[in-house]
């Protein structure tokens, strides 16, 4: 988000009505949902929107959406890469075991969406955990039996990896009823739901003394050396892993469209956008020199071209390096 992308002649300051946020386009991005707050913000917002649409579509097809949370007992001395591998191995073992497969057949699972998340606390160290949304045609009276069967599977899978869990190691929430309240405790937005719980970890701050990776990054920026070392450990352990993954063709079944990669989500060229301004390379260099990229992003969030124009001027950009534009386009720039 500093250098222009290859072949880009200008920086486009945009507003995306679908996501209700601004975007700085034609800039180089790393596409990392784990280590980059900027890319994580864009990717997770689109994931959240996708999951909201999928859960609405599922309910329209008379499917129930339930969320299971899987974790285990851990200690501060545990190494993140080790416990993460063992957690993921336990999840794979559970979902491939014949007992789980029989549960899947009995309750006619349509598919699932799995998300990986981690926090760190002074008392117990790293706390990786999985959230899994299950899409299935289940009646409310069968929820307790489903929860019991899946808990037994999870405890057995953990035991196979040399791990244990207490009562908090497995949780099943019926998203048709209570999950909105459950999820709302984790974030600062007023409209949090199960989709946000799976995708918005980049703006979630830890609870009860726990810290998210972005909390650690903030502390690192303030000079905390322990937080810096912890974030490096986190980055090394999570690099290259999938953050959110769905059953193949689940999105196509529910929404009539194929699954999208992180790269697809970042580009998202089919999204309608309000183009607020174009900035020349010389003008953008001034924005970077002034440390004003965040100010321009916040101005774009307002969806107001005049606000963006003033923010650019405040950053010291010459008026000749700003081309004011307010027009709707889809996939390509259309000058006003």
pTM for the whole structure = 0.78
Q: Which DSSP symbol is given to 27?
A: B
In this prediction, residues 3-10 reach a mean pLDDT of: 92
The angle, 0 to 180 degrees and rounded to 10, between the axes of the packed helices 305-314 and 293-301 is 170
Q: Has residue 184 got a pLDDT over 90?
A: no
Instruction: Indicate if the pLDDT at residue 48 is higher than 80.
Output: no
> Which of 41, 9, 66 minimizes the C-alpha distance to 200?
41
Domain ranges of the chain: 11-17+272-329, 38-265
137-142 average pLDDT score = 90
Q: How far apart are CA 56 and CA 255, in angstroms?
A: 10
Query: Whole-angstrom Cα distance, residue 94 to residue 146?
Result: 14
Q: Flag whether pLDDT at 189 surpasses 70.
A: no
Percent of the chain with pLDDT over 70: 85
> What pLDDT is stored for residue 75 in this prediction?
87
| Residues β-bridged to residue 65 | 135
Structure tokens at 33: 């949902």
Tens digits of residue pLDDT in 22-45: 889 999 988 888 888 778 877 777
Q: What is the pLDDT of residues 202-228, one digit of tens each?
A: 555 555 568 888 889 889 988 999 999
The answer to whether 125 and 75 are in contact (CB under 8 A) is yes
Strand order in the sheet with 11-16: 21-25, 11-16, 273-279, 322-329
DSSP string, 113-128: EEEEEEEEETTTEEEE
Local confidence band at 191 (pLDDT 50, 70, 90 cut-offs)? very low
């Amino acid at each position: 988000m500093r250098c222009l992308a290859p072949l880009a002649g200008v920086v486009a300051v945009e507003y995306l009505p679908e996501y209700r946020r601004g975007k700085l386009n034609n800039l180089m991005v790393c596409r990392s949902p784990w280590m980059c707050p900027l890319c994580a913000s864009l990717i997770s917002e689109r994931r959240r929107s996708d999951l909201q649409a999928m859960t609405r579509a599922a309910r329209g097809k008379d499917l129930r959406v339930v969320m299971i949370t899987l974790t285990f007992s851990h200690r501060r001395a545990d190494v993140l890469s080790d416990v993460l591998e063992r957690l993921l191995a336990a999840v794979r073992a559970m979902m491939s075991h014949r007992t789980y497969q029989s549960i899947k057949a009995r309750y006619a699972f349509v598919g699932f969406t799995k998300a990986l998340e981690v926090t760190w606390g002074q008392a117990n160290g790293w706390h990786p955990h999985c959230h899994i949304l299950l899409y299935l045609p289940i009646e409310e009276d069968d929820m307790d039996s489903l929860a019991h069967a899946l808990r037994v599977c999870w405890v057995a899978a953990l035991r196979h990896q040399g791990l244990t869990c207490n009562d908090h190691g497995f949780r099943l929430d019926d998203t048709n009823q209570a999950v909105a309240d459950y999820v709302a405790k984790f974030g600062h937005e007023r409209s949090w739901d199960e989709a946000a719980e799976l995708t918005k970890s980049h703006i979630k701050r830890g609870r009860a003394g726990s810290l998210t990776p972005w909390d650690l990054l903030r502390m690192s920026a303030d000079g905390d050396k322990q937080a810096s070392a912890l974030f490096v450990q986190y980055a090394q352990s999570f690099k290259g892993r999938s953050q959110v993954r769905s059953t193949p063709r689940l999105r196509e079944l529910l929404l009539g469209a194929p699954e999208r990669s992180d790269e697809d989500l970042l580009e998202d060229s089919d999204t309608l956008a309000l183009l607020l301004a174009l900035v020349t390379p010389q003008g953008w260099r001034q924005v970077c020199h002034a440390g004003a990229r965040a100010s321009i992003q916040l101005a774009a969030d307002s969806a107001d071209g005049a606000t963006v124009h003033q923010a650019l001027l405040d950053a010291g950009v010459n008026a000749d390096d700003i081309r004011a534009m307010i027009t709707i386009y889809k996939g390509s720039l259309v000058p006003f």
